[in-house]
């Protein structure tokens, strides 16, 4: 599906105020706070502290995977995300407010629903590993629905990924880190610039 809106960009796995400032300076669309098992996992109180300067400016995404309903209830009550990101299959186990925006995750080599959601994030079997996902499969999905491409992206390959997949958006975490769980201000800026340049060069 050809998109007409500018490329949607999300920086995931926020753990520091400097990373938040860099994302804001780069004018990305969203930032992710990980509540699943991960070296980037944050508490709801820490996520609230980090998100405070960007509320109403960037979309704040709560990232989960196979959460218990009570865990999601706590995240919604204490953090109040703009978007909840979790695996597509998880949604059947959760009772969510109808007003809450959801970003379902579809995974390479995994089962796909017969009816794709109107927007989905596509990545590899495991999140946050830095391994590239299947761009060809992602391209087929992106032709059917708004697709946010994730998995192994960085400033060096995001242009090729965008030209191959033609996604609605891109999502990066380890690809903009100076060390595990520590984002690099420079790498965030480089990634966003490379992604926007590639998006501008193709007919989206």
50-94 confidence digits (pLDDT tens): 999 999 999 999 999 999 999 999 999 999 999 999 999 999 999
The residue-averaged pLDDT of 110-125 equals 90
What is the predicted pLDDT for the residue at 3?
44
How far is it, in rounded angstroms, from Cα 183 to Cα 181? 6
Give the tens place of pLDDT for each residue, 130-146. 678 899 999 999 999 99
pLDDT at 13 (0 to 100): 97
Q: How confident is the model at residue 110 (pLDDT cuts 50, 70, 90)?
A: confident
pLDDT at 1 over 50: no
pLDDT in the model for residue 155: 98
CATH code that applies to domain 8-201: 3.20.20.70
Cα–Cα distances in Å, from 199 out to 6, 26, 82? 8, 15, 25
pTM as predicted: 0.94
Q: Is the pLDDT of residue 107 over 50?
A: yes
């Amino acid at each position: 599906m050809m998109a007409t809106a500018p490329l949607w960009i999300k920086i995931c796995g926020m753990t520091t105020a400097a990373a938040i400032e860099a994302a804001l300076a780069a004018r990305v669309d969203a930032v992710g706070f990980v509540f699943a098992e991960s070296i980037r996992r944050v508490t709801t109180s820490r996520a609230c502290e980090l998100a405070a300067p960007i509320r109403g400016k960037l979309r704040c995404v709560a990232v989960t995977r196979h959460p218990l309903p009570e865990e999601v209830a706590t995240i919604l009550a204490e953090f109040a995300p703009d978007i909840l990101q979790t695996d597509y299959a998880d949604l059947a186990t959760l009772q969510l407010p109808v007003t809450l925006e959801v970003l379902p995750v579809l995974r390479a080599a995994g089962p796909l629903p017969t009816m794709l959601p109107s927007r989905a994030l596509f990545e590899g079997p495991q999140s946050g590993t830095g391994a590239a996902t299947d761009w060809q499969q992602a391209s087929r999905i992106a032709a059917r629905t708004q697709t946010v491409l994730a998995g192994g992206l960085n400033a060096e390959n995001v242009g090729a990924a965008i030209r191959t997949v033609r996604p609605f958006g891109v999502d990066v975490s380890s690809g903009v880190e100076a060390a595990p769980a520590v984002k690099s201000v420079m790498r965030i800026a480089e990634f966003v610039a490379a992604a926007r340049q590639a998006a501008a060069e193709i007919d989206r």
